[in-house]
Structure 1
Amino acid sequence: MAMRISGSTMRRNVRKVHLWLGLTLGGFFALLGLTGSALVFYQAIDGCLHPEIRVETSQPAPGWNSPVWDRALATLHVRWPDRKGNWRFEVTGEPGALPVRYQPPHAGHHDRRVMVWLSPDGRTILREAVWGEYLMTFIYDLHMQLALGETGHAAVGWIGVGLVFLLATGLWAWWPRGTWRKAFRYKHEGSLSRRLRDIHKLAGLGGLALLLMLAITGAMLALPGQTGAVMAPILGTAKAEPAPHSSGRTGRQVPIRQALIAAHAELPDARIAWVEAPGPGDGAFMVRMQQPDDPSFRFPHSFVFVDQYDGQVLRVDDSRQAEPAVLVTN
């Protein structure tokens, strides 16, 4: 009898924890869910809001050996000769405008960047916008860091941890003590509060696996340091290597096309996703590529770095040879 009372008390306490977690974090869950859903259609929505970048062309999408990349870089240098940072071209694989990001020297990933779209031939600037100052990038920052910088980025991670506890306590509170058939039952003839409770129960059970996956992976992405510490005893520590430097600091930069050909020779089965042309100094070309078994189309996990002055390959980061900890986080 004492054990039954203890079990009932535990279940009651778990329900209270579940309730207060939902009341405290529910608004954040809704916000992250809505913004995340919008970001799935990020490029399509942005194109609808800015028709100037929705251009039709009979030209194929530029590839490994296309002269468009160097022509586009020359257009950018003529338009903004004082910008000495890196220009990062996205390779969409589809005909149309060329999206480019300008990364100022010494800027971090979440710092303010300038976004530019060029005509398909790389000769004309179609649009310029500052990251965070137009709708879709504001939504991105809201989803990633609640528009609060690094503090918000960490907060999103801990909110994800809270969601895991919310789901776990909900499952615990629901776990049937009697027949399983009754636990899955929806009472059509019940009161409004009973029907709402049944809908909440069945919706939670139906989405449990997906919500757990989203919460855990989202928390891992937002809390990389804590994730690494947890995985280290099992998978080892992932080594983050800085980007290599070119052989000199001055000289004539080789064409982007030459850097792409060198990168393609290293990973011939890969698809090009991004190419970054460095500014003056000892930076290197960075070519980001998708291997056939890499599930990430837009942000794949293989890189080739090429010396900007002599076109020699400096380093190859092949996702197929990544350490176990890196494979999990990827």
Structure 2
Amino acid sequence: MAKITRHVYLYLGTYWRFTRVIALTGSILVYYPELNESISNLSTETAKPLNWDTAYKTLKIHYPDKQGSWRLETTKDKHCIPARYYNQNKTVEHAFAPLMVWPSLDGKHILREEVWGNYFDTWIYNLHFSLLAGNTVTIVIGYVVIGSLTLLISGLYAWRTKKGLG
């Protein structure tokens, strides 16, 4: 019996890798705004007040072809003003790929421009949610969790019954 549980334990270890990817990407998502800010070093200034109107005008000037609505976001640290433009013609084939732009606090300069999914934290975000998409994947993840519990129990049994441990 111990030999069988050791084999079950070894083979189920491969399933555990899948759950580690889901757990790791989910953990990164908790901190993705802060992670993005620290990776990109957008700005460290916080003394200037936010100027939403100037930021919006700067976006309209720099992107005259983007006539739809811009979504300006607030951030906890107020190092920049993240903005999203959802109606991109360039990324129609993607389910979700807005243009992300970071104007400066005074709103006069564009600090950074990226398409969602083309930089680290949004790539991780897309990976995590593609792993969790749909009913089929939810069922698969349920089986993976059952496999993980079986892995844990069989591992405890396999190592406990090994000579010298039990």
TM-score, structure 1 length as denominator? 0.39
Segments of 5+ residues of structure 2 without an aligned counterpart are none
The aligned runs of 1:259-270 (5 Å cut-off) are none
Q: Distance in 2 between matches of 1:21 and 1:115?
A: 43
How many aligned positions are there?
Answer: 156
Q: Distance in 1 between matches of 2:137 and 2:102?
A: 31
1:134 aligns with 2:119: yes
Q: Which residue of 2 aligns with 1:163?
A: 144
Structure 1 or 2, whichever has the larger Rg, is: 1
Residue of 17, 22, 37 corresponding to 1:47: 37
1:119 aligns with 2:91: no
Q: Distance in 1 between matches of 2:140 and 2:127?
A: 14
> How much is the aligned-residue C-alpha RMSD, in angstroms?
3.7
1:26 aligns with 2:7: no
Greater relative contact order (Cα 8 A, min sep 6): structure 1 or 2? 2
Residue 113 of structure 1 contacts residue 130 of structure 1 at CA under 8 Å; is this kept in 2? yes
Q: Distance in 2 between matches of 1:163 and 1:101?
A: 36
Q: Distance in 1 between matches of 2:38 and 2:76?
A: 19
Q: Residues 30 and 121 from structure 1, CA distance in 2 versus in 1: closer, same or farther, beyond 3 angstroms?
A: same
Look up the SS of the partner of 1:98 in the other structure. Answer: coil
Q: Distance in 2 between matches of 1:162 and 1:21?
A: 15
Residue 21 of structure 1 contacts residue 162 of structure 1 at CA under 8 Å; is this kept in 2? no
Higher strand share: 1
Question: Which amino acid in 1 is paired with 2:63?
Answer: W
Question: Which amino acid in 2 is paired with 1:46?
Answer: N
Q: Residues 84 and 19 from structure 1, CA distance in 2 versus in 1: closer, same or farther, beyond 3 angstroms?
A: farther
Q: Which residue of 2 aligns with 1:59?
A: 48
- How far is 1:117 from its partner? 0.6
- How far is 1:54 from its partner? 2.4
Residue 25 of structure 1 contacts residue 159 of structure 1 at CA under 8 Å; is this kept in 2? no
Q: Which residue of 2 aligns with 1:87?
A: 70
Residue 73 of structure 2 contacts residue 82 of structure 2 at CA under 8 Å; is this kept in 1? yes
CA-to-aligned-CA distance 1:175-222 (integer Å, 9 cap, x gap): xxxxxxxx9xx97x965xx59xxxxxxxxxxxxxxxxxxxxxxxxxxx
Identity over aligned pairs, percent: 33
Look up the SS of the partner of 2:67 in the other structure. Answer: coil
Q: Distance in 1 between matches of 2:128 and 2:43?
A: 26
- How far is 1:42 from its partner? 1.6
CA-to-aligned-CA distance 1:2-49 (integer Å, 9 cap, x gap): xxxxxx9xxxx9x79x75983453221111122222222322322232
Residue 88 of structure 2 contacts residue 98 of structure 2 at CA under 8 Å; is this kept in 1? no
Residue of 21, 31, 37 corresponding to 2:27: 37
CA-to-aligned-CA distance 1:148-189 (integer Å, 9 cap, x gap): xxxx72364334322342356568x57xxxxxxxx9xx97x9
